[in-house]
Amino acid sequence: MVALQFLMTSAMAADESPLREAEVANFMLGNGMEVVVIPDHRAPIVTQMIWYKVGNADEPPGKSGIAHFLEHLMFKGTKKHPSGEFSAKIAEIGGEENAFTGSDYTAYHQTVTPESLRTMMEFEADRMRHLVLTDAVIVPERDVILEERRWRVENDPEQLLEEEMQATLYQNHPYRIPTIGWMHEMEQLNREDALKFYDRYYAPNNAILVVAGDVDAGRVRQLADETFGTLPRGPDLPARVRPQEPEQNTKRIVALTDPRVTVPSFQKSWVTTSYGTAEQGEAEALDILSEILGGGTRSRIYQELVVKQAIASSGGAYFNGRSLDPSSFTVFGSPRGEAKIEEVEDAIDAEIRKIIEFGITDVELEKAKNRFVRSIIFARDSQSGMAGIYGAALATGDTAHDVEAWPLRIRAVKAAEVQAAARKYLSPDRSVAGYLLPRESATSGDKSR
């Protein structure tokens, strides 16, 4: 479903905040619903996002896919607004809508004119507590998500490998379960499952309203009070405590051979900390590590493998830091020409070892910070981007202040902290290596066994 020199003067430091704290309003309604308002008056449009603090990692055992299934069912109507009316209204006023499910949250958003914001709030508030679900709705929509799994996962070798990688990387934590669900469990989902999940999690005191655009905080507060504020609280939920990972001390291999694969690829992942679990500065160091190691064409992996050695057609790294529980760090690459996938893996491993053994230079560190912070700043050019940054952060335990301080925390990362993060987390003895191979590459002696 998303992340981000100048010399460090106080004026520049202030400008590095995506939106200064005074401009962003953050308050609670009487029923426990959190609201964030991000003014942006450059264009007469507004984006509303509703974030529910529940994702597929919160599903009951044996009910995988119920969070995503309910996301679909939320468009099926209420007594006041029949199925399709909400979407038809958005289309009528020339707006846009979407929804998505993640491991830790589920979100719904609309982009419309400011004059239509009240209408969007009324629709969202209505379906937050008054969704009508019948078997006549459940069965056809279950068929829809089953078909979605077939074309998004079963028919895509890359997604199949990714799914198996996650299931292998996490041995105990529910992050190992695919967001869309396992097919055999999805087939059994029913009306009772959906209603139990809806009644438990879809309530104002488990939701965050983020409004970004041509609005002011006072007006949003008034509208939110008059719409969402009239809803009763849902159950007071306990803290989200999930099964945690045991100490990992093995190197695991996942290989998929498929005739649909034309170019082999490699990836390697590690369980790491996240912004939701990290000691101070550690997640920021991992973000900078991913930028230096594989964050684009200036990164070590790209420059060494693609430009200098010319053995890879692509390569990079990324850190999935925005999660409630421990997350992951991944490197990847694909061979070029006559190069072998083993050469790509060995070269990436060598770049990791260099950082672990010798660290990074101060110049390299500053350039990486520049690129990362600029990407945060550029995000304010997108209302949905800014709303997404705030929503994902608040839904995984951060505050609005944490979001505003993010660029300055990135600025504070030291070279030794990046090296320490690499040494702590990127051990080959605690990794999962994945190989996506053409069918003809599968021999008795290769990694596809």
Buried-state track 376-402, b at ≥16 Cβ within 10 A, e below 16? beebbeebbbbbbbbbbbbbbbbebee
| Cα(323)–Cα(53) distance, integer angstroms | 12
Which strands sit side by side in the sheet containing 327-335, from one edge to the other?
252-258, 432-438, 265-272, 327-335, 312-319
List Cα–Cα distances, 264 to 120, 142, 306, in angstroms: 46, 34, 15
CB 407 within 8 A of CB 377: yes
Nearest-CA neighbor of 29 among 291, 172, 229? 229
Residue 441, judged by CB atoms within 10 A of its CB (0-12, 13-18, 19+), counts as middle
Residues 6+ positions from 192 with CB-CB distance below 8 Å? none
Check: CB of residue 273 under 8 Å from CB of residue 286. yes
Burial class of residue 158 (count of CB atoms within 10 Å of its CB; 0-12, 13-18, 19+)? middle
**Alpha-carbon dihedral sign for residues 167, 170, 174, 179:** negative
Q: Which residues are catalytic?
A: 71
Q: How many CA atoms lie within 13 A of 132 on its CB side?
A: 9
The identity of residue 420, as a single letter, is A
Residues 6+ apart with CB under 8 A from 342: none
